[in-house]
């Protein structure tokens, strides 16, 4: 292997880095080389402590080899995961600060709202077909019923609306008497 200063080249051991060192840069093994001051490093790199026993090395200013001033503004896929699932999104490279935050949503427990809360490609799934509900009118009564999931409208209660008793052979106020 020719003896050349290599920066941000993925290698497994120091001998492949042309007199430099294989160090962890942004979670990956990449080459760097020794320096004394930041002016010893190319643009976009700074002279910093490489890690325990490694001394001063030229390291990317952004903290990662795949987000540099040359790749400023580029996007890459990312995901946000938790116990409910994983939501996909993108993060954008800031050539001096590194990769920005992932713009993916945060997975949540699926609820009746017409939204894919757990990011699995389906919405309002794994919910009961119906749930108990009631409609109350103050000083008149409360009627019991079942609610069905209406997507973005939420749970829609099918119970009657209580009304003042009338002579019509119906239990208008839902008190069990007609």
Q: Which of 42, 104, 108, 44 is nearest to 79 (CA)?
A: 104
**pLDDT surpasses 90 at 14:** no
Is 69 strand, coil or helix?
helix
Share of the chain above pLDDT 70, in %: 98
CB atoms within 10 A of CB 73: 8
Q: How far apart are CA 29 and CA 6, in angstroms?
A: 13
Higher pLDDT, residue 28 or 117: 117
pTM > 0.85: no
Higher pLDDT, residue 46 or 43: 46
Within 68-174, strands assigned E span 75-82, 85-94, 98-99, 130-137, 141-149, 155-157
Buried b (16+ CB within 10 A) or exposed e, 103-129: ebeebbebebbeebbbbeeebbeeeee
Contact criterion met (CB below 8 Å) for 117 and 95? no
pLDDT the model gives residue 156: 96
Q: How far apart are CA 24 and CA 26, in angstroms?
A: 6
CA dihedral over 72, 35, 25, 62, signed as positive or negative: negative
What count of residues does the chain have?
178
Q: How far apart are CA 162 and CA 139, in angstroms?
A: 10
pLDDT the model gives residue 1: 47
**pLDDT surpasses 60 at 3:** no
Is 123 strand, coil or helix?
coil
Highest mean pLDDT (candidates 27-31, 33-37, 79-83)? 79-83
Q: Which of 128, 137, 129 is nearest to 159 (CA)?
A: 137
Write out the DSSP string of 33-86. Answer: -B-SSGGGS-TTEEEEE-STTT-EEEEETTSSTTS-GGGTT-EEEEEEEETTEE
Share of the chain above pLDDT 90, in %: 60
Higher pLDDT, residue 112 or 42: 112
Q: Render pLDDT for 110-159 as a digit per residue (tens, 0 to 9).
A: 999 999 999 999 999 999 999 999 999 999 999 999 999 999 999 999 99
Q: Render pLDDT for 70-99 as a digit per residue (tens, 0 to 9).
A: 888 999 999 999 999 999 999 999 988 889
pLDDT band for 4, please (50, 70, 90 cuts): low
């Amino acid at each position: 292997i020719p003896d050349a200063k290599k920066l941000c080249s993925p290698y497994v051991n120091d001998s492949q880095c042309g007199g430099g060192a294989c160090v962890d840069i942004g979670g990956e093994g990449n080459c760097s080389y020794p320096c004394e001051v930041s002016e010893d490093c190319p643009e976009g790199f700074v002279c910093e402590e490489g890690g325990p026993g490694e001394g001063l090395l030229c390291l990317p200013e952004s903290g990662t080899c795949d987000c540099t001033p040359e790749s400023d503004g580029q996007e890459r896929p990312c995901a946000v995961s938790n116990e409910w699932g994983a939501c996909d999104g993108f993060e954008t490279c800031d050539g001096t600060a590194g990769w920005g935050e992932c713009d993916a949503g945060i997975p949540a427990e699926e609820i009746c709202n017409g939204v894919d809360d757990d990011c699995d490609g389906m919405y309002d799934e794994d919910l009961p077909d119906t749930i108990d509900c009631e409609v109350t009118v103050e000083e008149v009564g409360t009627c019991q019923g079942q609610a069905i999931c209406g997507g973005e409208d939420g749970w829609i209660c099918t119970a009657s609306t209580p009304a003042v008793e009338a002579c019509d052979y119906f239990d208008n106020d839902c008190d069990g008497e007609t």
